Structure 1
């Protein structure tokens, strides 16, 4: 089992010391959250809170995701960074490819590119991208990333994107895994058909078990049951060595852990040292024992 430390919507000055502390404590990855704008008015509900309320996001300080990863990569040596998740279809895929490839070249390939759909129509409107057929747009964007990541000439002719034969350099030192976030059946299938793994956003344990079963079935249907596939989950089981074993038995490869409830209005008041103490305590109590 590998472990990802998750922290978001906190003081931006905390990220560098937290990344260094997580690396020293033995975490494999550090998750980085993506947010572009906060609309003054919206009828959309947030899909990952019980009541759908989005007000906790107002006035939260989100550093542009690739800028933050570049900064954190410069002060670390081993830990991987995983967007959780990048809102892909609102961005030009060729630009995302260039950003991701540049990050991978600078930090030695320490990037797992989590991608997903934004739940906010306002993100699409602000970026000048139609909301309609966003799933198909996402599929095409992933195909383009996959092609450009090779560093070889690649051309694409789709419904939304049309590209002549082009290449981008430098190519990443190793393939950048595409990890699909989302709980819908379409997201699960996309993670298998076009991705290298799936990222879970939390919720009911029984729902997680059902989604893991669907993933297994889709992988079998697509003839990919024996291929490497990353499964990143948020689960209370991740907080004990016995629970970690249960997750491993279900095919989970990466546990995402955090130590505070982030969906609160207002600023994060937890001190930096408390955060470091919490991640180090978990490493001693669970990571060290899970690996023994």
Structure 2
């Protein structure tokens, strides 16, 4: 089982130092969150907290995850990066293909593309994308991005996107893995059908076990049961060495963790204290 560091809501001037320390400690990767903007009034409740409240406010720091991956890759050599997850629905697939291909090349193929739809109507509407039929639109976006990243001259004629022959060079020299996020049945079907893995938000162990079973069944239904598949999980009720062993036994391949929170250090806490937490976690779990 692998360990991934979550860096959500950390000050931007800490990110490169945290990446270097995480690599030194043996973390396999860094999970990069995505948030476009904070709307004063949200039309929908946030789906991943019990009461629907957002865990951040208008002053919480965010950075574009694709830019963050490139910046952190420049000061490291082995650790990998993946978006967890980038909201596709409000974006354009051709522009994203250009960006993802650039990040894959500039990081030396140390980048995985975690994708979701997005939960906020404002992010769609204020960026010029329709909120209606967002699931079908995102399915087509994934198809477009994969097609372009494979390289060569390609064309696409779909329901939502249409273009004649084009090529983006250079294509990544290695396939960019796609990880699909979401807890709904359509999201799990999407992950089983087109994903190289699945990303969770915050979940209890029992729910992760149930979701793993659903994904196994769906992947078998799509004839993909024997293909490699990552289970990237944020578990909120299994911790420490014993908890991690339970997660591994349940088929979780990648635990996403924020060690400093267990030590009472807030998201915007002192950098040196966070680095000490990383070293402590690594000694107790990764070593």
Measure the CA separation in 2 of the matches of 1:173 and 1:237: 39
Measure the CA separation in 1 of the matches of 2:57 and 2:111: 25
Matched residue, 1:100: 100
Q: Secondary structure at the match of 2:115?
A: strand
Cα contact 1:9–1:60 (8 A) shared by 2: yes
Measure the CA separation in 1 of the matches of 2:281 and 2:268: 21
Matched residue, 1:54: 54
Q: Secondary structure at the match of 1:211?
A: helix
Q: Secondary structure at the match of 2:56?
A: helix
Q: Secondary structure at the match of 2:96?
A: helix
- Per-residue deviation at 1:237? 6.9
Q: Secondary structure at the match of 2:156?
A: strand
- Per-residue deviation at 1:116? 0.3
Structure-2 change in CA distance of 1:281 and 1:55 (3 Å): closer
Matched residue, 2:70: 70
Measure the CA separation in 1 of the matches of 2:238 and 2:145: 31
Tell me whether 1:35 sits opposite 2:35 in the alignment: yes
- Per-residue deviation at 1:268? 4.0
CA shift digits 1:24-57 (9 cap, x unpaired): 1101101111111111222311111121112623
Q: Secondary structure at the match of 1:3?
A: strand
- Per-residue deviation at 1:137? 0.7
- Per-residue deviation at 1:243? 2.8
Measure the CA separation in 2 of the matches of 1:66 and 1:227: 27
Matched residue, 2:278: 279
Cα contact 1:34–1:86 (8 A) shared by 2: yes
> TM-score, with normalisation over the residues of structure 2?
0.94
Structure-2 change in CA distance of 1:269 and 1:9 (3 Å): closer
CA shift digits 1:236-267 (9 cap, x unpaired): 576333333322222221111113559xxxx8
Matched ranges for 1:99-138 at <5 A:
99-138=99-138
Structure 1 consecutive aligned stretches of length 4 or more whose deviation exceeds 4 Å: none
For structure 1, list consecutive stretches of 5 or more residues without a partner in the other structure: none
Matched ranges for 1:9-20 at <5 A:
9-20=9-20
Measure the CA separation in 2 of the matches of 1:41 and 1:244: 38
Cα contact 1:156–1:162 (8 A) shared by 2: yes
CA shift digits 1:112-142 (9 cap, x unpaired): 1110011100000111000000000110010
> TM-score, with normalisation over the residues of structure 1?
0.93
Measure the CA separation in 1 of the matches of 2:85 and 2:94: 18
Matched ranges for 1:243-262 at <5 A:
243-260=243-260
Matched residue, 1:218: 218
Matched residue, 1:192: 192
Cα contact 1:239–1:286 (8 A) shared by 2: no
Measure the CA separation in 2 of the matches of 1:222 and 1:17: 42
Structure-2 change in CA distance of 1:236 and 1:139 (3 Å): same
Tell me how large the CA RMSD over aligned residues is: 1.7
- Per-residue deviation at 1:212? 1.0
Cα contact 2:32–2:69 (8 A) shared by 1: yes
